[in-house]
A and B are shown apart, each in its own frame.
Chain A
Amino acid sequence: MKRKILVVKEGGGGFSFETKCLLEKIEDNYDLYFLVPQDREKNETISSIKEFEIPKITSIYDKSYIHTILAFLKCILATINILRKSDYHAVICIGSSVAVPVFIASRFCGLKTVFIESITRINNISKTTSLLLKLRVCDRIYVQWKPLACAHSKLIYKGSVL
């Protein structure tokens, strides 16, 4: 029986392309489910019973600090609510800052967590990666450029998701 893996799936942009590349390579090996960050102002249709909506923590419409904190907490609770309903094995996220609340929730529920730094990050790690390292909520953090692995001893370079 295939393991149940949750993957964070953004609606568009570079992260979604990288996620699509990864999914093409792992979809035959795992029973994949998706966490879909939803913008308060720009809801996209949840199109499958394998997709679960979670609050987006950053928005191009809303720069309010308080809203971000609230969204962060809501995201943790929403993720815990999703995770406790089935026997998921791990959560994977590429690039997105939503990884921070999602991985806090995943750790709380005892799941493995894997973050892949976006291929756009060449010389400096993102704030998200920096925070994930500090919080120690990741089993594995991959970077997609070799020089970036020198930024921290926990960063792993094994090529790209392409």
Chain B
Amino acid sequence: MIFVTVGTFNFDDLIYQIDKLIGQGVITDKVICQIGNGQYQPKNCESFAYTKKIGSYIDDAEMVICHGGTGSVLDLIKREKKFIAVANRALANDHQMEFLSELSQEVDIPWASDMEKLCDIYINISSYSYSSRDGFLRSDLVDDLKKVLL
């Protein structure tokens, strides 16, 4: 199963593109979409607006396609889940684009800045390596914080 999540707001362009790729036969796996407050209802897969059990959908999914929100992306990195992040460029200051661009210099994450690239990345997803995640997750922040809180 592929789980698609757009987070708190909406990302109709992504849901439309996923629906289109299913219709075209590019995506053949079962797909479930969390569409937030989006207006576009996919015709070729299941969808819902929000859930409090998003973690169990992620656990059940073989792959996640998500917006470029920090919560979603960092959670997927921590879970060591296979995923593709797509920048929702309509949001304030194009911050998802900036975040994904910078993050990808630290961690090898498959991500797309537009819908055309999503199709290419999806087709080639099996060649991505996630080996650089450990270095990104290494941190002394909490140890330093504990010294401050003495």
Question: Interface on A for B, CB 8 Å cutoff?
Answer: 3, 5, 12-14, 16-18, 21-22, 25-26, 29-30, 89-90, 92, 112, 114, 116, 118-120, 122-123, 139-140, 142, 144-145, 156, 158-162
Question: Count of A-B contacts with CB under 8 A?
Answer: 78
Query: Roughly how many angstroms separate A133 CA and B82 CA in the complex, as a whole number?
Result: 39
CB <8 Å contact, A18 and B146: no
Do residues A3 and B140 form an inter-chain contact, with CB atoms below 8 A? no
* Interface pair A158/B102, CB less than 8 Å apart: no
Whether B78 sits at the interface, judged by CB under 8 Å, is yes
Q: Tell me, yes or no, whether B138 is within 8 Å of chain A by CB.
A: yes
B89 contacts the other chain (Cβ, under 8 Å)?
A: no
**Nearest chain A CB to B52 CB, angstrom units:** 11
Indicate whether B40 reaches chain A with its CB closer than 8 angstroms. Answer: no
A112's partner among B78, B142, B144, B149 (CB-CB below 8 A) is B149
CA of A116 to CA of B77 in the docked complex: distance in angstroms? 20
Q: With A12-B8, A18-B70 as given contacts, are A156 and B144 in contact (CB-CB < 8 Å)?
A: yes
Chain B residue at minimal CB-CB distance from A119? B70
Question: Given A120-B95, A120-B99, A162-B78, are A14 and B141 also a contact pair (CB < 8 Å)?
Answer: no
Number of residues of chain B lying within 8 A (CB) of chain A: 25
In the complex, the answer to whether B102 meets A159 with C-beta atoms within 8 Å is no
Is A159 touching B139 in the complex (CB atoms < 8 A)? yes
Contact of B148 among A13, A123, A140 (CB under 8 A): A140
With A89-B149, A119-B70, A159-B138 given, name 18 new contacts (CB 8 A). Answer: A3-B149, A13-B8, A13-B69, A18-B70, A18-B71, A90-B148, A90-B149, A119-B74, A120-B99, A123-B98, A139-B148, A140-B148, A158-B143, A160-B136, A160-B137, A161-B141, A161-B142, A162-B136
CA–CA, A17 and B76, complex, Å: 11
Q: What's the dominant secondary structure at chain B's contact region? A: helix
For B78, the chain A residues whose CB sits under 8 A away are 21, 162
Q: What residues of A have a CB within 8 angstroms of the CB of B138 in the complex?
A: 159
Residue from A22, A30, A158 in contact with B149 in the complex, judged by beta carbons closer than 8 Å: A30
Contact present for B71 and A17 (CB under 8 Å): yes
B29 at the interface (CB under 8 A from A): no
CB-contact partner of A26 in B95, B98, B102, B146, under 8 A: B146
Residues in A with CB closer than 8 Å to B143 are 158
CB contacts (< 8 Å) of A120 on chain B: these are: 70, 95, 99
Asked if A14 and B142 make an inter-chain contact with CB atoms under 8 angstroms apart, the answer reads no
Residues in A with CB closer than 8 Å to B70 are 14, 17-18, 118-120
* Smallest CB gap from A139: residue in B: B148
Kindly list chain B residues whose C-beta atoms are within 8 Å of the C-beta of A17.
70-71, 74-75
